[in-house]
A = this chain, B = another copy of it.
Amino acid sequence: MQMPTPDATILARKDQIVKRLQAVLPDGAVVHDPFETRAYECDALTAYKCPPLCAVLPASTAEVSAVMRVCHEEGVPVVPRGAGTSLAGGALPTADSVILGVARLNDVLETDFANRIIRVQSGRTNLSVTGAVEEEGFFYAPDPSSQLACAIAGNIAMNSGGAHCLKYGVTTNNLMGVTMVMADGEVVEIGGAHLDAGGLDLLGLICGSEGQLGIVTEATLRILAKPEGARPVLVGFDSNEVAGACVSDIIKSGILPVAIEFMDRPCIRATEAFAGAGYPDCEALLIIEVEGSDAEIDDQLSRITKIARAHNPVELRESTSAEESAKIWLGRKSAFGAMGQINDYMCLDGTIPVSELPLVLRRIGEMSKDYGLDVGNVFHAGDGNMHPLILFDANKPGDLEKCEAFGADILKLCVEVGGCLTGEHGVGVEKRDLMVSQYNQSDLEIQLAVKDVFDPNWLLNPAKVFPLSSTETRRAS
């Protein structure tokens, strides 16, 4: 992974920059000891590492603003960091950058049940947003797998989704407004406790912008009433194609389950060995969950199982108790861990039209043979968001590179069939150079020019999202 050459003049001014940051923050909020800054050298894409110049941990919008003013005046790049759970290297530092961690921005500022909103500081973890409203019967819908750890700031940066986003949408569908600190320290409010305002939709632009446009410090989020109940059904098939066709038929019928999860044989086997969830040993497995009152659940599941039976499943197991439901989900939730037990793996994230599932799964199988690397597929099939896990051996020379090439081929295939490079993990450094397979030069120029408006000196989250060549030219100019 090529990263930009650090700016030697910044490295030389480290002491001065640290001193200026310390002057605007409370004691202990600037981490600059080279041993301690190693805690920030990578995120969940651990293949790439680089300790930052220093890290700051502000606890308020005013403190974030003060940090940004200093960095703006000193011309120092800033890498915003949520909880560091990015699988795309979205928070990877450069040696000349300041990591701006939002971990201390974790307060609930307001809950307003009459308007179904909650306002939180952006460092608050996803699950603790629900924690703040669940006693009143509400929840925050987007549910990334990392929801126990990941921060709302990162969810907004990556427009994160999760297993239940088929029904409830991703972050952008649940975000009402933000308080954002601009590159020069100015504080702006965008959106709020109301519908779409007039003028250009800057909130939509900011959601998913991966820290390229500003630092979100507070967020107004939509909360929803908890459904009365939920129930999964597990369906096993003897081919990926048939399972894919079953997903297509369910979506086509107009039923909207809250989740349709898909696992293929390599994943099922690994999971079963690891978690013993009692999954059948078959080619492909769907977990379909519906929500509502008992009557609604019965009605939806009867229509879903009717469609599934038409595809000759080798197993069809409707949960009849909370214990059975938990067991059905146990395997799915252990899948990543289970694959990690077998070998190192790279988790991809691409999106395709649901109807292309059978074709894409077949092509991935063929590529797996060509590359000689195993791949397991576990993904949110209802909305076409795939997470192929490619297994490789990090200690075997050349294996990582082979894995990266295989991953790139899969993502290019996603684009080819009418999908895109990412569903919920974002581009980060991981997919930056693949952006040219989705966008032509003039598409990219427009995006770069919009970035220019918000961050004219290109100091925000360097070397991410856009091909390195474009950003290097930009920053130099």
Residues of A within 8 A of B (CB): 112-116, 137-138, 159, 161, 169-170, 172-173, 186, 188, 192-205, 207-209, 212-213, 224-226, 248-249, 251-256, 292-293, 295-296, 299, 351-355, 383-385, 418-424, 426-427, 431, 435, 438-439, 442-444, 446-447, 449-454, 465-466
When distances are taken between beta carbons in the complex, the residues of chain B under 8 Å from A418 are: 192-194
Residue of B nearest to A173 (CB): B173
Bound together, the chains give a CA A369 to CA B422 distance in angstroms of 56
A-B contact pairs, 7 of them (CB 8 A): A188-B442, A188-B443, A192-B418, A195-B384, A196-B351, A204-B207, A293-B299
When distances are taken between beta carbons in the complex, the residues of chain B under 8 Å from A351 are: 194-197
Q: Name A205's contact: one of B188, B201, B384 (CB within 8 Å).
A: B201
Residue pair A446, B202 in contact (C-beta under 8 Å):
yes
When distances are taken between beta carbons in the complex, the residues of chain B under 8 Å from A207 are: 201, 204
When distances are taken between beta carbons in the complex, the residues of chain B under 8 Å from A224 are: 254, 256
Q: Name A296's contact: one of B202, B293, B422, B435 (CB within 8 Å).
A: B293
Residue pair A422, B197 in contact (C-beta under 8 Å):
yes
Residue pair A114, B427 in contact (C-beta under 8 Å):
no
When distances are taken between beta carbons in the complex, the residues of chain B under 8 Å from A200 are: 205, 208-209, 212-213, 447, 450-451
Residue of B nearest to A350 (CB): B194
Smallest CB separation, A277 vs chain B (Å): 28
Main secondary structure of the interface of A (DSSP, over half): loop
Q: A115-B355, A204-B172, A293-B299 are in contact. Are A420 and B197 (CB under 8 A)?
A: yes
Q: Name A465's contact: one of B137, B199, B355, B452 (CB within 8 Å).
A: B199
When distances are taken between beta carbons in the complex, the residues of chain B under 8 Å from A204 are: 172, 201, 203-205, 207
Residue pair A423, B196 in contact (C-beta under 8 Å):
yes
Residue pair B170, A196 in contact (C-beta under 8 Å):
yes
When distances are taken between beta carbons in the complex, the residues of chain B under 8 Å from A170 are: 195-196
Bound together, the chains give a CA A200 to CA B172 distance in angstroms of 12
Q: A138-B254, A202-B447, A296-B295 are in contact. Are A197 and B453 (CB under 8 A)?
A: no
Bound together, the chains give a CA A424 to CA B419 distance in angstroms of 30
Smallest CB separation, A47 vs chain B (Å): 19
- Taking A116-B252, A197-B422 as known contacts, 16 extra A-B pairs with beta carbons closer than 8 A to each other, sorted by chain A number, are A114-B355, A115-B384, A169-B173, A170-B196, A193-B353, A195-B384, A195-B423, A199-B447, A200-B208, A200-B212, A200-B450, A225-B253, A293-B295, A295-B299, A296-B296, A450-B450
When distances are taken between beta carbons in the complex, the residues of chain B under 8 Å from A292 are: 296
Bound together, the chains give a CA A352 to CA B385 distance in angstroms of 35
Bound together, the chains give a CA A224 to CA B252 distance in angstroms of 9
Bound together, the chains give a CA A200 to CA B188 distance in angstroms of 19
When distances are taken between beta carbons in the complex, the residues of chain B under 8 Å from A424 are: 195
When distances are taken between beta carbons in the complex, the residues of chain B under 8 Å from A195 are: 161, 170, 351, 383-385, 420, 423-424
Residue of B nearest to A254 (CB): B225
When distances are taken between beta carbons in the complex, the residues of chain B under 8 Å from A454 are: 446
